[in-house]
């Protein structure tokens, strides 16, 4: 079989025009998010592509016009051999009105060894490589012993967890590889959670009462929610500093774990004392922390801050964490992902990379966030591994190197083959 695999790996190079053609095809589907709700045609293309290769297709609307597609290729000896999920998102970053693209963002250009177009790096390149690997295995008549599940999901760019929906639907495997932008590094990631902190007065007062709630003898126990929010923001800054000093994680510059007061809304009219103020925060945390844990730390800290203020003590801040979409309910969660370099699948990926790329594999952490965290959250061992670099993701004239795309496709082909040909460990529980 080794001979057959080597032949297949050589074919990636010989047929690289087809691989590039497949990527161009994917780029031509206009799938920016926002506005989103535009992936139906592209997802149908993936569904048909996989169906042709023997996959059983599950396609369902996560939102109208934005379906997830999951294809399952049942292995010849599923119960004894390792299963694999290959996961990628079909949506791409939004495109501004006046961006100076060479051609259009959805009209791919191939020249000087690169493919240019929206999504080339993030992450239609990764999807094209993975699909082409599947195609070559199919055409060679290879029957994998372990199950192979291909997930083409939606909504990643706007915090809509298409991948979470796959996990909720029960899709599991012994390992998952997220083919998002990683410049061929094998990566884990920190996480992000957004939250709303609300300070609210039980009563609404007219502007004319301000003197009575501020000055000696006024006898009105009230406050401006906007002014009280200043104490909350100060509290968040103190906690952010404390985290920067005390927490760290290999691969991240100290202080990467930030709490950003991103948006503030408050007050109703100049004729009133502000009776409500809402602060939208974005919290970055390290791979060895969970979003539940950091949310609790922030709540505990702010409730203590509130204890130190006579009015906030009676009117403590309220919290609302996460959300399922930045465009539907203004909130998102990207759980963190830790990669265990000694996990047998990670070792297999390292060895596939090193034998194909003839370079040492780099296992590190992504400076960004991907859907990889949902696998960590679901208890499925996973890693991010994809072509393209983050300088290009979301950029004008986004591009991916064809040489890297070819290397990537070879590595992934070998990894899919090797991992699904490896017997399950006796204690593994997919
Ligand atoms: Zn991405």
pLDDT at 102: 85
In whole angstroms, give the CA distance from residue 105 to residue 398.
Answer: 8
CB 290: neighbour CB atoms within 10 A? 16
Q: For position 429, what pLDDT does the model report?
A: 54
**Centre of ligand 1 from the C-alpha of residue 406, in Å:** 19
Distance from Cα 157 to the centre of ligand 1, integer Å? 7
Given pLDDT bands bounded at 50, 70 and 90, which one contains residue 98?
confident
Burial of 1 (0-12, 13-18, 19+ CB in 10 A): exposed
Give the number of residues written for the chain.
Answer: 430
Cβ 122 vs Cβ 395: under 8 Å: no
Query: Does pTM top 0.85 for this prediction?
Result: yes
pLDDT at 1 over 70: no
Quick: pLDDT tens for 235-291: 999 999 999 999 999 999 999 999 999 999 999 999 999 999 999 999 999 999 999
How many CA atoms are closer than 13 Å to the CA of 228, on its beta-carbon side?
A: 33
H-state helical runs in 247-333: 291-307, 310-314
Statement: residue 323 has pLDDT above 70: yes
pLDDT(92) > 60: yes
How much distance in Å is there from the Cα of 390 to the middle of ligand 1?
9
pLDDT band at 393 (very low <50, low <70, confident <90, very high): confident
| The predicted structure's pLDDT at residue 363 | 97
Catalytic hit among 24, 66, 91, 377: 91
What are the structural domains of the chain?
2-189+337-420 (3.40.630.10), 191-321 (3.30.70.360)
Q: What is the pLDDT of residues 99-129, one digit of tens each?
A: 999 889 999 999 999 999 999 999 999 999 9
What pLDDT, on a 0 to 100 scale, did the predictor assign at position 427?
66
- Which residue, among 226, 228, 225, 229, has the nearest Cα to 200 in the 3D structure? 225
C-alpha distances out from residue 103 to 22, 32, 93, 106, Å: 19, 16, 17, 8
The 10s digit of each residue's pLDDT in 149-176 is 999 999 999 999 899 999 999 999 999 9
Q: Which one from 147, 156, 165, 377 is the annotated catalytic residue?
A: 156
pLDDT over 90 at 197, yes or no? yes
Residue 395, pLDDT above cutoff 60: yes
Query: How far is ligand 1, taken at its centre, from the CA of residue 296, in Å?
Result: 28
pLDDT for res 223: 98
Average pLDDT over residues 364-368: 96
Q: How far, in Å, is the centroid of ligand 1 from the Cα of 174?
A: 23
17 is catalytic: no
- From the list 180, 172, 189, 158, the residue with the least C-alpha distance to 87 is 180
Cα 338 from Cα 370, distance rounded (Å): 13
- Structure confidence at residue 430 (pLDDT): 53
Res 220 pLDDT > 70: yes
Nearest to 383 by CA among 399, 363, 354: 363
Give 428's pLDDT tier (boundaries 50, 70, 90): low
Q: Is 156 a catalytic residue?
A: yes
In this model, does residue 73 exceed pLDDT 90? yes
pLDDT tens, position by position, 29-68: 999 999 999 999 999 999 999 999 999 999 999 999 999 9
DSSP 315-373: S--EEEE--SBTTTSSB-EE--B---TTSHHHHHHHHHHHHHH-S---EEEESS--THH
Q: What is the mean pLDDT of the chain?
A: 96
> With pLDDT > 70 as the criterion, what percentage of the chain qualifies?
99
pLDDT at residue number 49: 98
Q: What is the mean pLDDT of residues 19-38?
A: 97
Gap from CA of 270 to ligand 1 centroid (Å): 43
Tell me the pLDDT tens digit for each residue of 337-350.
999 999 999 999 99
* HSE-up (13 A, CA, CB side) for residue 256: 19
């Amino acid at each position: 079989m080794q001979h057959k695999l080597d032949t297949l790996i050589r074919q990636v190079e010989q047929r690289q025009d087809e691989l590039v053609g497949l990527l161009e095809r994917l780029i031509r589907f206009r799938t920016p998010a926002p506005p989103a709700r535009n992936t139906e045609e592209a997802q149908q293309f993936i569904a048909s592509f996989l169906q042709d290769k023997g996959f059983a297709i599950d396609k369902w609307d996560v939102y109208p016009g934005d379906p997830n597609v999951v294809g399952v290729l049942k292995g010849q000896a599923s119960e004894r051999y390792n299963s694999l999920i290959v996961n990628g998102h079909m949506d791409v970053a939004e495109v501004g009105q006046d961006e100076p693209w060479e051609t259009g963002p959805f009209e791919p250009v191939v020249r000087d060894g690169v493919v240019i177009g929206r999504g080339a790096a993030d992450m239609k390149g990764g999807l094209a490589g993975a699909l082409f690997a599947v195609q070559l295995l199919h055409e060679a008549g290879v029957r994998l012993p372990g199950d192979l599940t291909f997930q083409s999901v939606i909504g990643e760019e706007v915090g809509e967890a298409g991948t979470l929906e796959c996990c909720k639907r029960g899709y599991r495997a012994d390992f998952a590889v997220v083919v998002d932008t990683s410049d061929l590094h094998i990566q884990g990631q920190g996480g992000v959670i957004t939250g709303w902190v609300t300070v609210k007065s039980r009563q609404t007062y007219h502007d004319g009462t301000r003197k009575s709630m501020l000055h000696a003898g006024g006898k009105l126990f009230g406050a401006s929610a906007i002014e009280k929010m200043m104490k909350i923001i100060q509290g968040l800054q103190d906690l952010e500093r404390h985290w920067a000093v005390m927490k760290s994680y290999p691969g991240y510059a100290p202080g990467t774990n930030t709490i950003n007061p991103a948006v503030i809304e408050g007050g109703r009219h100049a004729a009133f004392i502000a009776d409500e103020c809402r602060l939208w925060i974005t919290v970055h945390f390290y791979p060895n922390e969970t979003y539940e844990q950091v949310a609790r730390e922030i709540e505990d800290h702010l409730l203590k801050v509130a204890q130190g203020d006579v009015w906030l003590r009676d009117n403590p801040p309220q919290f609302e964490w996460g959300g399922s979409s930045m465009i539907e309910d203004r909130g998102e969660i990207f759980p963190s992902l830790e990669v265990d370099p000694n996990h047998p699948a990670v070792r297999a990926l390292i060895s596939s990379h090193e034998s194909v790329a003839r370079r040492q594999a780099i296992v590190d952490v992504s400076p960004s966030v991907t859907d990889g965290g949902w696998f960590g959250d679901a208890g499925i061992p996973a890693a991010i591994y994809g072509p393209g670099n983050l300088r290009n993701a979301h950029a004008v004239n986004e591009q991916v190197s064809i040489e890297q795309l070819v290397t990537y496709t070879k590595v992934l082909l070998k990894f899919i083959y090797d991992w699904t040909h490896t017997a399950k460990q006796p204690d593994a529980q997919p």
